[in-house]
Amino acid sequence: MLMLQARHTSAQAARAFRLPSVSILRHHPLVRSATSSRGPSQRRFAVDLVSIDSKWRQVWETNRKNAEEGADTGKKQHKYVLPMFPYPSGTLHLGHLRVYTIADVTARYHSLKGNDVLLPMGWDAFGLPAENAALERGVAPAGWTQSNIVKLKEQLELMNGSWDWKNELSTCDPEFYKHTQKLFLMLYERGLAYQAEAEVNYDPVDKTVLANEQVDANGYSWRSGAKVEKKLLKQWFLKISEFREDLLRELDTLAKDDAWPEHVLVQQRNWLGKSTGAMIKFPIMAHGHDVGSAIEVYTTRPDTLFGVQYIALSASHPAVVKLAETDAELQAFLDTMPGLPPDSKVGYMLPQMRAINPLAFNDKTPDATKASIPVYVAPYVLGDYGEGAVMGVPGHDTRDFAFWKTHQNDEPVRYVIAASEDESTTVLDNEPFVDHGVMTENSGLFKGKTSKEGGEVMVRMLEAAELAKGVEKWRLRDWLISRQRYWGAPIPIIHCDSCGAVPVPESQLPIELPAVDQHWEAGKAGNALESSPDFVNVPCPKCGSPAKRDTDTMDTFVDSSWYYARFTDPKHANELFSSEAAEKLPVDIYIGGVEHAILHLLYARFIYKFLASTHLLPQYTAETAPSAEPFKRLITQGMVHGKTYVDPTNGKFLKPNEVDLSDPSQPKVASSGAPAELRYEKMSKSKHNGVDPTDFISKHGADATRAHMLFQAPVADVLNWDDVKVQGVTRWLQRLHDQVEKLANTEMVASVKEDLVARQTSVASMSKEDADRFNADVLLWRETQRVIEAVTRSYEKIYSLNVVVSDLMTLTNALTGAKAASVSVKRATADALVRLMAPITPAFAEECWALLSPKSASIFQDGSFPVTDDSLSILKPQEQKCMIQINGKVRGGVMIPPAPGGLEGDDLKNWMVEAILATEEGEARFTKGPFDIRQAKRAIPVKGGKLINFVL
Ligand code: ANZ
Ligand code: ZN
């Protein structure tokens, strides 16, 4: 499923949560690149981030086995976290790494919070790539797929994920597709799977039928890129249309609390495409031709009826088919049509007929609307939408306008609606007016009415004369699931001459795919099942006479429409899953690429609603089943882009060995020494910008890779992968490890808060040294509390996991910089910090945890996620006076807390500006005109924050 790359990611999503400003990130003291001149000493750090991975993976594996044997874990709540399962292509790419990191971090977070988390992994293993590879290499798809799964699994293991491998499944395993077939039979029994003759999209390269959704706007296959042909064939459909009202209504539920991203909801809504409009009859005159007495059109804008200037029909409209019998020129035109793009504005005016506007019968109708109008055949009219006929309104529809200009450029366009009653407000500069508005003089008696009201009145009026009917239309078609290919789940139907289509009895499931090695060896195109007589020729289950098995297999979207449910119980033999397992549904958090915004998610929602109406999901009643949704929350992650070097003189993509990076700030074209251009683009072989995640992990360790991955961009945004920056993360981890080592053999106090509260009472009588230590302790503990709060919020939101990393870095800074603080508070901070970061850097956290708590077991067993005490409200930091200079002149002073230790540069400046503006005086005096410190070009903090000079 993840074989597609995301097309686009939404910037709005990024804006929805707090992001550290670019400058904070760049100047974060721990993030400066390794080349920074002020780097720490060259000494080697103690922890080997690469070798700890395998050490801890082994421990986790043992723990997992033990846990599986011992039954009750005593965990609180069940949580089901699921990333979209991968298509087993054999190589892990950075897109995989990103989505699986996000999923694992989320799962580990919920597990540390004491929940019983399910994080399964499996393989979306059917589909064309395996079959095409089989034809190319002469090996069976099963073997090829299996070896890819092994490879991908090995690579996936390297990333320190906490996958529940006991729940592993593969959709090409007969144990799985037996139940896909069973699902089909259940749908069939309910009348929700049916066969129908249909004009289908045929991909001549992949030699298969495609669903409408798999054909792009220009008529090309989503997979092979081939120009799709139209063919009439008998096909299997699933009746998703029966669920359309439920599918539409529940989008509103999914919109609550941002459970699903807005852009996905919009796309789903558009795909369902509910529209209300009217069918309108246009009487026709066609002397001597048997084409009926009227043409019906479907329109969503009956209010534009006065502006109709022509009628356009699709090629398959019955009147066109009839006329083509005797009109050779028309037939010749029709023959050229399949090759035309759907937005083509060509057309053929039917000489035999004219149409009349149904309003012509009303004597108050302006003469222009009473005149008869021409009828065209045009490729932009779809045969399978509405009536296959359009009323052409050049004045108010963009496509109609373009068509009219192409065919009747001399005939003026008639505008019947304006923006307001003052018609001059509508600028009609050679374009249609497509909005609603007020009806103009050209609308006769309706002049001055709003177009909405006018449209309604007109439809009612015409309804009385049986010339119109208000209707509701959906864009959603039933789901065409049959594929004329081998590598999928065979459709469990047998065709008998006397009994018709007979479902295969359940006891005969699974219908396994036959081995057809010769087919692959010969590299034959087409459906291998058709040429397997043993597979095809079977007795009819009903009457026993010779019959034929259906040779179609199911679209792989059928597999992914229910795999998440099977994950709860992948070994169940008789049913899709047991009713105890069903309690783990729905999925709590579903994570995947935005490229699945429409089809996969819509199909999964449909099938889940269906399952909810069966005995399989007992948690739903007849009443609640229609609102059942499979994925409570949906997280869509952005694409990963790679560093791409281009020779600006010829636009050529440069290979790594063609770039001179000796000066990292100015890449050069190696051959000429001229500057090379650096861009970030979608990774592809041709751009030489791919990165192998396993290679990267083996150099930097899985944890640094994970943290780097998250830190680079908010989850929903495009991530520009810059491998050099991982060094900032590595150094952060090393410094923290150093600090933890120093604190390793120290005592924990029972409650830091109680300790500080007790000390707070005697601040006044303390020695200077004790008072300084107390202040440092309060500052550090408050910062710890702030970060616990912020990080928890970000883990819950998921979209802002990047901010978790920067908050953890900030807390590390506060810890290492808190020179005056007591060991016990530092120790408690380190303890919290390690638990806070465990979801992101699990092996590293274990390593630190083992130093801090040598007697306890794995942090994921004995550790818990930190929670805040109420120190932030109880413990007030002592404030100090901060003098504010503007351009060197003192302009005032405010009381603010001393800045947390370790802050410097822009970090310190930003912190201080925030603190200053948080005071009453700061807000009143330094946000205006020449004293607006937010506009400062530069700010120089001095004396540890006792003075700050703003340059404005
Ligand atoms: C006249 C008109 C005037 C229209 C106007 C729109 C704007 P949705 O909303 O997607 O349902 N239409 C109807 N049948 C069609 C077909 N078979 N192929 C192509 N286009 C078709 O779209 C409904 C609108 O699409 C209809 O409303 C019709 O154009 C066009 F100012 O009718 B309208
Ligand atoms: Zn029969």
Q: How confident is the model at residue 901 (pLDDT cuts 50, 70, 90)?
A: low
- The strand pair at 668-669 and 659-660 is best described as antiparallel
> Do residues 599 and 264 lie in contact, with contact meaning Cβ atoms separated by under 8 Å?
no
User: In this structure, how many other beta carbons lie within 10 angstroms of the beta carbon of residue 435?
Assistant: 11
Positive/negative CA dihedral, 723, 727, 733, 734: positive
Measured in Å, residue 489 CA sits from the centre of ligand 2 at 23
Higher pLDDT, 350 or 747: 350
The ligand placed nearest to the CA atom of residue 272 is 1
Residue range 247-292, pLDDT digits in tens: 999 999 999 999 999 999 999 999 999 998 999 999 999 988 999 9
Banded pLDDT at 427 (limits 50, 70, 90): low
3-state SS, residue 583: coil
Q: How far is it, in rounded angstroms, from Cα 560 to Cα 51?
A: 37
Q: Which two tokens stand for residue 715?
A: 């989850």
C-alpha 564 – ligand 1 centre gap (Å)? 38
Q: How confident is the model at residue 44 (pLDDT cuts 50, 70, 90)?
A: low
Query: How many whole angstroms from 547 Cα to the centroid of ligand 2?
Result: 7
Lowest mean pLDDT among 44-53, 324-333, 653-662, 846-855: 44-53
| Burial 662-693, CB ≥16 within 10 A → b, else e | eeeeebbbbeeeeebeeebbbbeeebbbeeeb
The runs of H, that is alpha helices, within 163-243 are 174-189
Number of the ligand 1 atom closest to the C-alpha atom of 395: 31
Average pLDDT, rounded, for the chain = 90
Q: What percent of the chain has pLDDT over 90?
A: 70
Ligand (nearest to CA of 295):
1
Beta bridge partners of 170: 123
For residues 428 and 440, what is the distance between their CA atoms, to the nearest angstrom?
Answer: 14
pLDDT of 451 reads: 93
Testing ligand 1's pocket by substitution, the residue of 279, 298, 373, 416 carrying the most ligand atoms inside 8 A of its CB is: 298
Residues 6+ apart with CB under 8 A from 41: none
Using CB atoms within 10 Å of the CB of residue 349, give its burial: 0 to 12 exposed, 13 to 18 middle, 19+ buried.
Answer: middle
Three-point CA angle 925, 927, 928, nearest 5°: 85
Output 870 or 42, whichever has higher pLDDT.
870
Which of 53-57, 191-195, 554-558, 763-767 has the lowest average pLDDT? 763-767
Residue 35 has pLDDT above 60, yes or no: no
pLDDT tens per residue across span 560-581: 999 999 999 999 999 999 999 9
**Each residue's pLDDT tens digit, 837-881:** 999 999 999 999 999 998 888 999 988 999 999 999 888 877 888
Pull the structure tokens for residue 447: 């002049």
In the 8-state DSSP scheme, what is residue 37?
A: T
- Ligand 1 centre to CA of 400 (Å) is 10
Cα 386 to middle of ligand 1, angstroms: 8
**CB-based contact 248:272 (threshold 8 Å):** yes
Nearest ligand to the C-alpha of residue 499? 2
- Across 699-722, average pLDDT: 96
Q: Tell me the domain boundaries of the chain.
A: 274-473, 745-874, 880-951
CATH of domain 880-951: 3.10.20
pLDDT over 80 at 4, yes or no: no
**pLDDT value, residue 75:** 65
**Residue 333 corresponds to which tokens in the numbers above?**
């035109």
Question: What's the pLDDT band for 9 if we cut at 50, 70, 90?
Answer: very low
Residue 780 buriedness (CB in 10 A; 0-12 / 13-18 / 19+): buried
**CATH architecture of the region 274-473:** Alpha-Beta Complex (3.90)
**Nearest listed ligand to the Cα of residue 542:** 2
From the CA of 275, give the closest atom in ligand 1.
11
Which residue puts its alpha carbon closest to atom 7 of ligand 1? Answer: 397
The answer, yes or no, to whether residue 37 has pLDDT greater than 50, is no
Q: What phi and psi, each to the nearest 5 degrees, are found at residue 931?
A: -105, 10
| Residue 561 pLDDT | 98
Tell me, what's the pLDDT at 29?
A: 39
- Pocket probe for ligand 1: among 357, 385, 398, the residue whose CB has the most ligand atoms within 8 Å is 385
Handedness of CA 702, 707, 708, 712 (dihedral sign): positive
Residues with CB under 6 A from ligand 1: 273, 275, 298-301, 304, 314, 381-382, 385-386, 388, 390-391, 393, 396-397, 473
**Residues 38, 251: Cα–Cα separation, whole Å:** 53
856-858-859 Cα angle (round to 5): 90
Q: What is the pLDDT of residue 74?
A: 65
pLDDT at 304: 97
- β-pairing verdict for 677-682 and 640-647: antiparallel
pLDDT band at 12 (very low <50, low <70, confident <90, very high): very low
Ligand 2 centroid, distance to 546 Cα (angstroms): 8
Secondary element (H or E) of residue 400:
helix 398-407
91: CB partners within 8 A, 6+ apart: 151, 152, 155, 692
Q: Give the number of the ligand closest to the Cα of residue 300.
A: 1
pLDDT in tens, 646-680: 999 999 999 989 999 999 889 999 999 999 999 99
Interatomic CA distance for residues 731 and 700, integer angstroms = 11
Average pLDDT for residues 413-418, to the nearest whole number?
94
CA of 536 to the centre of ligand 2 (A): 15
- Tell me which architecture the domain covering 745-874 has in CATH: Orthogonal Bundle (1.10)
Structural element, H or E, at residue 784: helix 768-797
Answer whether 883's CB lies under 8 Å from 893's CB. yes
Rounded to whole angstroms, what are the CA distances from 697 to 102, 157, 692? Answer: 16, 11, 9
Q: How far apart are alpha carbons 590 and 80 in whole angstroms?
A: 8
DSSP secondary structure letter of residue 475: -
Atom of ligand 1 nearest to the CA of 397: 31
What percent helix, strand, coil does the chain show, rounded to 5? 45, 20, 40
| pLDDT 10s digits, 506-560 | 999 999 999 999 888 887 767 899 989 999 999 999 999 999 999 999 999 999 9
> Which of 348, 312, 344 shows the shortest CA–CA distance to 327?
348
Check pLDDT > 50 for residue 5. no
